[in-house]
Amino acid sequence: MTVTIERNGDIAIVTIDNPPVNALSQAVRQDLWNAAETLDADPSVRAVVLICDGRTFIAGADVNEFGKPPMPPHLPDLVARIETAAKPWVAAIHGSALGGGFEVALGCRFRIAVPSASVGLPEVRLGIVPGAGGTVRLPRLIGPALATEMVTTGTPVAAQKARSQGLIDAVVEGDLEKGAIDFARSAIDQSLPLPLRQRGVPAVDATFWETTSKAVATRARREDAPLRALACVRKAAEADFETAMAFERQTFLELRGSPQAAALRHVFFTERAAPRPPELAGVEPRKIRSAAVIGGGTMGAGIAAALRDAGLPVTLVERDEAAVERGLSNLRSIFEGSLKRGKISPDVAAERLAGVTGTTDYSQLSATDLVIEAVFEDLDVKREVFSRLSTVCRADAVLATNTSYLNPEQIAAGIRHPERFLGLHFFSPAHVMKLLEIVPTAHTAPATLATGFALARMLNKIPVRAGICDGFIGNRILKVTRAQAERLLLAGATPQAVDAAMRSFGLPMGPFEAQDLGGLDIAAFQRKAARARGETPFAPIAERLCALERFGQKSGGGWYDYAKGDRTPRHSDIVADIIAGEARETPQREWDEASIIDCIVLPMVNEATKILNEKVALRAEDIDLVEIHGYGFPRWRGGLMHYAEGRGLAEIAARLDEFAANGLAEPPCNHFENIGREREIPLEKGSN
Ligand code: 3HC
Ligand code: NAI
pLDDT tops 80 at residue 676: no
Same domain, yes or no: 90 and 139: yes
Same domain, yes or no: 427 and 295: yes
Same domain, yes or no: 406 and 527: no
**pLDDT in the model for residue 69:** 85
Residue of 22, 96, 475, 572 with catalytic role: 475
Ligand lying closest to the C-alpha of residue 385: 2
Substitution site in 2, 16, 21, 249 for ligand 1 pocket (most atoms within 8 Å of beta carbon)? 21
Summarised one tens digit per residue, pLDDT across range 351-374 is: 999 999 999 999 999 999 999 999
Find the DSSP H helices in 143-224. Answer: 144-153, 159-165, 176-188, 208-220
**pLDDT in the model for residue 584:** 95
Residue of 404, 572, 595, 606 with catalytic role: 404
Find the DSSP H helices in 393-510. Answer: 408-412, 446-458, 474-490, 495-505
Question: Where is the domain boundary, 257, 273, 303?
Answer: 257
Q: How confident is the model at residue 65 (pLDDT cuts 50, 70, 90)?
A: confident
Question: Where is the domain boundary, 465, 493, 526?
Answer: 465
Ligand lying closest to the C-alpha of residue 519: 2
Q: How confident is the model at residue 670 (pLDDT cuts 50, 70, 90)?
A: low
Whether 402 is a known active-site residue: answer: no
What is the number of structural domains in the chain? 3
Question: Where is the domain boundary, 465, 486, 501?
Answer: 465
Same domain, yes or no: 620 and 478: yes
Q: How confident is the model at residue 679 (pLDDT cuts 50, 70, 90)?
A: very low
pLDDT tops 60 at residue 291: yes
pLDDT tops 70 at residue 678: no
Q: How confident is the model at residue 57 (pLDDT cuts 50, 70, 90)?
A: very high
The number of the ligand 1 atom at minimal distance from the alpha carbon of 125 is: 44
Percent of the chain with pLDDT over 70: 97
Q: State the distance from the centre of ligand 2 to the C-alpha of 518, rounded, in angstroms.
A: 15
Residue 275 lies in a domain: no
Summarised one tens digit per residue, pLDDT across range 36-54 is: 999 999 999 999 999 999 9
Same domain, yes or no: 294 and 149: no
Summarised one tens digit per residue, pLDDT across range 587-616 is: 999 999 999 999 999 999 999 999 998 999
Residue of 425, 431, 629, 642 with catalytic role: 425
Residue 268 lies in a domain: no
Task: Enumerate residues lining ligand 2, CB below 6 A.
Answer: 294-300, 317-319, 323, 374-377, 381, 385, 402-404, 426-428
Q: State the distance from the centre of ligand 2 to the C-alpha of 541, rounded, in angstroms.
A: 27
Angle between helix axes 346-354 and 321-340 (nearest 10 degrees) is 160
Same domain, yes or no: 312 and 355: yes
What is the C-alpha separation between 446 and 623, in angstroms, rounded? 22
**pLDDT in the model for residue 686:** 28
Whether 116 is a known active-site residue: answer: no
Instruction: List the CATH number of the domain containing 626.
Output: 1.10.1040.50
pLDDT tops 80 at residue 681: no
Summarised one tens digit per residue, pLDDT across range 636-663 is: 999 999 999 999 888 999 999 999 999 9
Residue 524 lies in a domain: yes
So what's the ipTM on this one? 0.93
Q: State the distance from the centre of ligand 2 to the C-alpha of 424, rounded, in angstroms.
A: 13
DSSP-derived secondary structure letter, 312: -
Ligand lying closest to the C-alpha of residue 119: 1
Structural domain of residue 634, as residue ranges?
Answer: 474-547+581-672
pLDDT tops 50 at residue 677: no
Summarised one tens digit per residue, pLDDT across range 240-277 is: 999 999 999 999 999 999 999 999 999 999 999 999 99
Whether 475 is a known active-site residue: answer: yes
Q: State the distance from the centre of ligand 1 to the C-alpha of 23, rounded, in angstroms.
A: 7
Same domain, yes or no: 112 and 133: yes
Q: State the distance from the centre of ligand 2 to the C-alpha of 295, rounded, in angstroms.
A: 6
Instruction: List the CATH number of the domain containing 60.
Output: 3.90.226.10
Instruction: List the CATH number of the domain containing 384.
Output: 3.40.50.720
Backbone angles phi, psi at 302, to 5 degrees: -65, -40
Residue 282 lies in a domain: no
Supply angle C-alpha 174, 177, 182, rounded to 5: 85
Residue 158 lies in a domain: yes
What is the C-alpha separation between 584 and 490, in angstroms, rounded? 8
State the average pLDDT for the chain. Answer: 95
Same domain, yes or no: 47 and 142: yes
Same domain, yes or no: 387 and 295: yes
Please give the distance of CA 669 from its chain centroid, rounded to a whole number: 30
Same domain, yes or no: 86 and 146: yes
Q: Strand pairing of 157-158 and 118-120? A: antiparallel
With b for 16 or more beta-carbon neighbours within 10 A and e for fewer, the 512-534 pattern comes to bbbbbebebebbbebbebeeeee
Angle between helix axes 620-631 and 259-273 (nearest 10 degrees) is 100
Residue 272 lies in a domain: no
The number of the ligand 2 atom at minimal distance from the alpha carbon of 302 is: 26
Q: State the distance from the centre of ligand 1 to the C-alpha of 60, rounded, in angstroms.
A: 7
User: Which protein residue has the closest C-alpha to ligand 2 atom 25?
Assistant: 298
The number of the ligand 2 atom at minimal distance from the alpha carbon of 404 is: 34
On the 0-12 / 13-18 / 19+ scale of CB atoms within 10 A, 290 is: middle
Residue 385 lies in a domain: yes
Same domain, yes or no: 484 and 456: no
Residue 277 lies in a domain: no
Sheet holding 356-359, edge to edge: 356-359, 314-317, 291-294, 370-373, 398-401, 421-426, 435-440, 462-465
Same domain, yes or no: 454 and 491: no
